[in-house]
Structure 1
Amino acid sequence: MDERAIRKIEGHLRGTFANARITLMPRPKQKDSAEVYVGEEFIGVVFEDEDGDGSYVFNMSILAEDLP
């Protein structure tokens, strides 16, 4: 995933969730995805869609210990 795509998705997520603290960081060993953070907390991964049509998939796990 190139820097332009990362910034475009980052802007979209910031606007959608009204949170300027969302950042995307390229993954060092994977070229098709980026890690998603809110501040310093890792929350998920964005992957390029397999269709290659410019779509992306945001994957976020919610662990049982994180729930009240």
Structure 2
Amino acid sequence: MSATLSTSEIARLQTALRRLLGAKDLTVNPAPRSGMSVELAVNGEVIGTIHRDDEDGDVSYAVNMVVLEEDLPPAK
């Protein structure tokens, strides 16, 4: 079951993901509209979403990141 992320959770996730991924330009942005997921962005470009799961009293966060083929370097 997905739940809305609080402002505090967003800030904590941003800190943890920046440290984990070594990406100081990574931001976790509040959901653009009610009922939507928060957005994961790098240099202002949204690259994915983060979903909160609090089923059975255990809280976890799932990151869904999208990489478009057109953004990949040419194949060798």
**Pairwise TM-score range, normalised by the shorter structure:** 0.7 to 0.9
Could you tell me the percent identity over the aligned residues? 35
TM-score by length of 1: 0.85
**Aligned-pair RMSD on alpha carbons?**
1.7
- Out of 11, 16, 22, which is 1:12 matched to? 16
Number of residue pairs matched?
68
User: Which of structures 1 and 2 has the larger relative contact order (alpha carbons within 8 angstroms, sep 6+)?
Assistant: 2
Bigger Rg, structure 1 or 2: 2
Unaligned runs of 5+ residues in structure 2 are none
CA distance, structure 2, for counterparts of residue 66 and residue 9 of structure 1: 25
The farther-off stretch of 48-57 and 34-43 is: 48-57
Unaligned runs of 5+ residues in structure 1 are none
